[in-house]
Amino acid sequence: MVEPDVFNVPQNFGQKLIRDELDRLQNLITEAVEHSATEHLIEALRAKGYTVTPPTTTEGTEL
């Protein structure tokens, strides 16, 4: 009887999954930091008396 070759995966398969997940997390962190910095800038400008319209995404939703 021939066993199915279910373990025939590339040697670096797990490393690629981890690398992809780390890239995804890094992008999320970068986005969060940029959003936070934008919020702080808007608050600081408003505190100085400037009228600030929050930026929007390409979908038109407020950041």
Give the pLDDT score at 14. Answer: 85
pLDDT of 49 > 90? The answer is yes
Within a domain: 40: yes
pLDDT of 62 > 60? The answer is no
Half-sphere exposure of residue 32: CA atoms within 13 angstroms, side-chain side: 6
If one counts the domains in the chain, the total is: 1
pLDDT of 27 > 70? The answer is yes
Structural domain of residue 22, as residue ranges? 14-49
Half-sphere exposure of residue 28: CA atoms within 13 angstroms, side-chain side: 6
Give the pLDDT score at 23. Answer: 92
Within a domain: 54: no
Q: What is the DSSP letter of 29?
A: H
pLDDT of 48 > 90? The answer is yes
| Residues pairing with 56 in the sheet | 62
Asked if residue 53 lies in contact with residue 42, where contact means CB atoms within 8 angstroms, the answer is no
Q: What is the mean pLDDT of the chain?
A: 81
